[in-house]
């Protein structure tokens, strides 16, 4: 009796951030904030990472809060994909 093996991908990384640029076609730049502790002063610092994400339908606009998920490399800089738009921006 042969068992069917299904490969699981594992858990994908999920981040929430704000769209800071939508000027490219099918691509948005998302700013993701996280906090870290300073090694010497033990104070919390806010750090921002800018991720380039794939937006297939060009629905994201600057200022939108979005959820991005990691994916295979889509281009030289794109390693993330927009999963959903949480909040729409008032401008635009």
The pLDDT of residue 2: 56
pTM for the model:
0.84
Backbone angles phi, psi at 72, to 5 degrees: -65, 160
On whether residue 73 sits in a domain, the answer given is yes
Query: Is the distance from CB of 41 to CB of 55 less than 8 angstroms?
Result: no
- Whether residue 69 lies inside any domain: the answer is yes
Chain segment 12-62, per-residue pLDDT in tens: 999 999 999 999 999 999 999 999 999 999 999 999 999 999 999 999 999
81 lies in some domain: yes
- Residue 48 sits in a domain of what CATH number? 2.40.50.140
Is residue 30 a contact partner of residue 18, using CB atoms and an 8 Å limit? Answer: yes
Q: How many domains does the chain have?
A: 1
- Identify which of 28, 8, 46 has the alpha carbon closest to the alpha carbon of residue 92: 28
In a domain? residue 47: yes
Q: Is the pLDDT of residue 3 over 60?
A: no
Write b or e for each residue in 32-61: b if 16 or more Cβ atoms lie within 10 A of its Cβ, otherwise e. beeeeeeeeeeeeeeeeeebbbbbeeeebe
What is the domain range of residue 39?
14-87
């Amino acid at each position: 009796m042969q068992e069917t093996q299904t490969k699981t991908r594992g858990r994908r990384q999920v981040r929430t951030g704000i769209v800071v640029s939508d000027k490219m076609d099918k691509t948005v730049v998302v700013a993701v904030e996280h906090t870290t502790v300073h090694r010497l002063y033990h104070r919390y610092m806010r750090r921002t990472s800018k991720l380039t994400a794939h937006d297939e339908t060009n629905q994201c606009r600057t200022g939108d809060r979005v959820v991005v998920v990691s994916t295979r490399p889509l281009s030289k800089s794109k390693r993330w994909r927009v999963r959903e738009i949480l909040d729409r921006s008032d401008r635009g």
